[in-house]
Copies of this chain bind each other. A is one copy, B any other.
Amino acid sequence: MNIDRRSGCPINLSLEVFGDRWSLIILRDMIFGGRRHFRELLNGSLEGIASNILADRLKRLMALGLLTKADDPSHKQKAIYSLTEMAITLVPIMAQLGAWGRVWLPVSEELSIRAELLEKGGPPLWEQFMDELRHEHLGAPSRTPPGAPSVRQQLRAAYEAVVERKADELRHIKTDA
């Protein structure tokens, strides 16, 4: 559960935090997909994480200080997960990962829209997005002028469409069988 501390090298320590197959996927879905609940993360992930792994990673990410958990006032059984500042500052890493993947890996057109947007916008756009996340997850006052287009919405719109279409497909498979 805890971190290994194989060495004090920054790259190594970063890898010990999210150098596994799922941690960054979960954070990606929270950051870009707006997922805040266990079930949203479970069903909304394109990659299909198992519930025990998800539970384990959420616990781990909380222990590491990347996430916090709170009761959902509107529903006694629901928990709301929030990103901490530590997690929000992963945005530049995500952007770089996306940019690299877009160049070198067989990404699907529809799913790389987000990465493209982040790449085109560059650091200023990342900053605005991080600011929006702070507003959403930390309750920080938004510095974005009211009426300005939300990066969050732009980033999520395209992705939601893909996820929804995938959910549809799964429904059809179930119906057919």
CA distance A9 to B112 in the complex (A): 6
Taking a contact as CB atoms under 8 Å apart, the answer to whether A10 and B89 are in contact is: no
Secondary structure class of chain A's binding surface, majority of residues: helix
Taking a contact as CB atoms under 8 Å apart, the answer to whether A7 and B93 are in contact is: no
Taking a contact as CB atoms under 8 Å apart, the answer to whether B98 and A14 are in contact is: yes
CA distance A115 to B112 in the complex (A): 29
This chain's copy number in the assembly:
2
CA distance A107 to B8 in the complex (A): 5
Is A97 in the interface zone, CB < 8 Å from B?
A: yes
List chain B residues, Cβ under 8 A from A21. 15-16, 19-20
Is A28 in the interface zone, CB < 8 Å from B?
A: yes
Give A62 Cβ to nearest chain B Cβ, in Å. 15
Taking a contact as CB atoms under 8 Å apart, the answer to whether B101 and A89 are in contact is: no
Contacts A6-B46, A21-B15, A24-B19 given; indicate if A89 touches B103 (C-beta within 8 A): yes
Give A13 Cβ to nearest chain B Cβ, in Å. 4
